[in-house]
Homo-oligomer: A and B are copies of this chain.
Amino acid sequence: MTGDRFVFKFTEGDASMRALLGGKGAGLAEMTRIGLPVPPGFTIVSRACIAYHESGRELPPGLEEQVGSALAELEAAMGKQLGDAANPLLVSVRSGAAVSMPGMMDTILNLGLNDQAAEGLAQVTGDRRFALDCYRRLLQMFGEVVLKVSARTFEDLLTAARDRAGARHDHELGPAELGRVVDRFKSAIQRGAGVSFPQEPRQQLILAVRAVFESWQNERARVYRRLNSIPDDLGTAVNVQAMAFGNSGPTSGSGVLFTRHPATGERRILGEYLPNAQGEDVVAGIRTPYPVARLRDELPEVYGELERVSALLERHYREVQDIEFTVEHGRLFVLQTRSANLTAEASVRRAVDFVSEGLIDRSEAVRRVSAETVERLLHRRIDPRSRVEVLSRGLPASPGAATGSVVFDADRAEKMAAKGQRVLLVRPETTPDDIHGMVASEGVLTSRGGMTCHAAIVARHMGKPCVVGCDELRIDLGAAVFAVRGRSFAEGDVISIDGASGEVIEGEVRLIDPDLSPALLTVLDWADEIRRLGVRANADTPGDAARARSFGAQGIGLCRTEHMFMAQDRLPVVQEMIMAETVEERQAALVRLLPMQQGDFRGILEAMDGLPVTIRLLDPPLHEFLPNIEELEARMRRLRERVRRLARGSDLGRSRGKAEEALEELDRTRRMVRRARALQEVNPMLGLRGCRLGIVYPEIYEMQARAIFQAAAELIAAGRNPLPEVMIPLVGHVRELEITRQMVERVAVQVRGATGCDFPVVIGTMIEIPRAALTAGEIAGQAEFFSFGTNDLTQTTFGFSRDDAEGKFLHHYSQAKVLKDNPFAVLDRDGVGRLIEIGVSAGRRAKPHLKVGICGEHGGEPRSIAFCHEVGLDYVSCSPYRVPVARLAAAHAALAAGANAHRDG
């Protein structure tokens, strides 16, 4: 073994020598190599540690000599000597294996101090307290780590010293007290270890190196390795590095800086500097540091060096850096550098600037901007600098923040908003009757419901902040108050919600507006160049459609017709349609709905002129359009009471008229109760909805198809280019699609005949039932396109009702680590994803040019978008506000797939 080389100076290595030098050693070597003024030092290679353990804990022959000469070089480089009474060199001794094992092994700082050198350090720094504190720390660390004196011994002595001095913290101990602590520590070592603290620094070093080697085999390191599958025979390297002192006089100091502005991304050094101070003084905040920029005047050479170092680091690491540095007698040492935490704005700006500076290319810039960053920039946010008092927390149903006066009723909300008041609608849950109140409100807060409850879906589509299922809220609608954690809020009281975190906050908060900066637009353009996946939006109104288009949507992937049914002016007609007792009655109501739907479709097709618009025929169970039964019964009771009251005064003519009106209303309500009961289902999610409705009540789908085609014909006549696609929901068997498709085709032929207009007829289906995915080959025969409805597909594949799961057991599942992610947020690759793969491949085998997309909420979630890319979908569709996120995530997916392909090649 003699003759082996065990020691490498930092100047001799680089980042590639990780296996030999360990992670930390290779990093220090790399920083040194690129020309950073890193405090010099050397690394004892991990092989030495292995040899140490293999030989029965003997240092390998030659190691001591090699360390000796490396140390001599280090002393020469620093112009200081270990243990020197005048200007002593101090070193740190740190472990560092090839695989990071943070905190698992031992470190010793301030090595080289002894009684003499402590005195020298006091003089050279002019800070006796500091010198004694360094010495005290060395004694403590060395005592514990090398000499195995119990940690408790030192802690007890320190506590006693603080008690005597009446001090609460160690830094309040003065030099005299610290001097006494040093003495007591030395005695404790003598007593505890049976040897005195070695005053000879070279002996300290060798013992410290041995101790680090030993720590490779300590209990916690071994357990850590087992848990993380790290081989036991890797060994650890040992890094010995000079320590620098910023408190060595007026030309010394410590500072931190960002290589660019971490909040705006602006291209200038930003930081703080404290003269004649150590790093920890900057952090402690006892003295006020000044801006780094002042160094330009105070220590122009140091400042120039900082500029040079900043540029060097950015160029090398291609990232904004957060640097800690020390100046010792006018000499700059970089102690640490790491990638800076940037705000969303800064992150985008630096990506774009880096491209123009030639540091990275466009792909890398796109890669650098995370989807979350874009998401943050697209909603009003609570100013991160403001302080807020969180009252409670619900489910983050729709992102964005809102502040407003509490209101408990949709009509009141509308009235107050009309007066210019900002309101926040608070309800146990919302129903179609509340939509106008939601429109009028800044945001919505409910005490019940999961991520797909009515409030959540509608709010997401309005792009309105929403928190649901906040079950700590006790809402008393009668009294128009809610209570939470012992406090009470009445109508008009101001609260805020953060729909991204689910927080409910007392009072008003400062909000920041969303920012579609030019830098962001640039990044999104670059993303568009890279991505293969198309991005569409889920939108139900012309307004939503226009917004989606402005965000870059390439079409509408899901236009839900039921939201049109829920509009206040249609709901009574829809209810009439539902309560019809004959096909004729139903058709009469549908005839009245037809022009309204036609208008809806015309508006959306016009907004998306030239882009495809996938319109889903009616999907939800009909009872969703009726008030709930409890409400109806309460209404019945009120009406009965009113009729009785009016009957008493019925000899007066006016009252008689009113009584008749009330009777009529009572009858209507009674019929509604009866119908609602008949429509009640045990599991509405798995009941009479989707194409099942279309098969049981063909006239509904026929009306919708007619509205779509007539709208298209109108637009074509006006010289526009509408591209509607008709989508049949909830198909599980090819016959369901075949039958409904024929209905739609028949209507198309009729409308073509009547208008003489040759609009396109494209018919496809949602794949949202496991059986549809499993029999996709057959279904593709009847479909021009598939759109994976992953909300429902997740519910059926897991057998989870989202409404119930999120309230009743999913939180439990996340605590018990049953599921890593909420499958309604992040697409489950193994189950739902498997079905998608089966569906796509069977569908394409049957029809090679089948267009395949996704329109569940996963279509806006980055990890799910990556899956969609991998599995070969043509497009994703998401809510308008997520379109930019999806554009970026789609580019990320393409880049990752490219990288993988490259790796595979």
A residues adjacent to B (C-beta < 8 A) = 681-688, 692, 695-696, 730, 732-733, 735-736, 739, 768-771, 774-775, 778, 792, 795-801, 803-805, 808-809, 812-813, 816-819, 828, 830-832, 834-835
Contacts and interface: CB of A to CB of B under 8 A. Distances in A.
Contacts of A775: 830-831, 834
B770 A797 contact: yes
Given A771-B798, A798-B769, A818 B683 contact: no
B696 A812 contact: yes
A828 B733 CA distance: 11
Number of copies: 2
A804 B686 contact: yes
Given A692-B809, A739-B816, A803 B835 contact: no
By secondary structure, the A interface counts as: helix
Contacts of A730: 799
- A812, A818, A828 — most chain B CB neighbours (10 Å): A818
The 9 closest A-B pairs by CB, nearest first: A686-B801, A683-B801, A771-B831, A687-B804, A769-B799, A682-B803, A770-B770, A683-B683, A683-B685
Nearest to A819: B733
A687 B805 contact: yes
A687 B769 contact: no
A830 B779 CA distance: 12
A693 to B, nearest CB: 9
Contacts of A799: 685-686, 730, 732, 768-771, 792, 796
29 contacts: A682-B684, A682-B801, A682-B803, A683-B803, A684-B804, A685-B686, A686-B804, A688-B804, A695-B809, A695-B816, A695-B818, A696-B809, A730-B799, A732-B797, A732-B800, A733-B798, A733-B818, A735-B818, A739-B816, A739-B818, A769-B798, A769-B799, A770-B835, A771-B798, A771-B799, A774-B797, A774-B830, A775-B831, A778-B830
Contacts of A688: 804, 808-809
A802 B446 CA distance: 32
A122 to B, nearest CB: 60
Contacts of A774: 797, 830-831, 834-835
Nearest to A835: B774
Contacts of A819: 733, 735
- A682, A695, A831 — most chain B CB neighbours (10 Å): A682
B735 A804 contact: no
Contacts of A683: 683-686, 801, 803-804
Given A686-B799, A686-B801, 10 more contacts: A681-B803, A695-B816, A732-B798, A733-B818, A769-B797, A769-B798, A774-B797, A774-B830, A796-B797, A796-B799
Contacts of A812: 695-696
Contacts of A813: 692, 695
A795 B681 contact: no
B770 A686 contact: no
Contacts of A818: 695, 733, 735-736, 739
A768 B799 CA distance: 9
Contacts of A686: 683, 685-686, 795, 799-801, 804-805
A871 to B, nearest CB: 15
Contacts of A798: 732-733, 769, 771
A732 B794 CA distance: 11
Nearest to A831: B771
A559 to B, nearest CB: 22
Nearest to A777: B830
A834 B688 CA distance: 25
Nearest to A832: B771
Contacts of A732: 797-800, 831
A682 B804 contact: yes
A775 B799 CA distance: 14
A687 B808 contact: yes
A205 to B, nearest CB: 50
Contacts of A816: 695, 739
Contacts of A695: 809, 812-813, 816, 818
A681 B796 contact: no
A136 B695 CA distance: 53
Nearest to A692: B809
Contacts of A800: 686, 732
A681 B808 contact: yes
A692 B811 CA distance: 12
A577 B819 CA distance: 28
Contacts of A831: 732-733, 770-771, 774-775
A240 B524 CA distance: 86
A835 B797 CA distance: 11
A696 B683 CA distance: 22
Contacts of A808: 681, 687-688, 696
Nearest to A680: B804
Contacts of A797: 732, 769-771, 774, 796
Contacts of A771: 797-799, 828, 830-832
A366 to B, nearest CB: 34
Nearest to A695: B816
A618 to B, nearest CB: 15
Given A799-B792, A809-B692, A809-B695, A804 B770 contact: no
Contacts of A796: 770, 796-797, 799
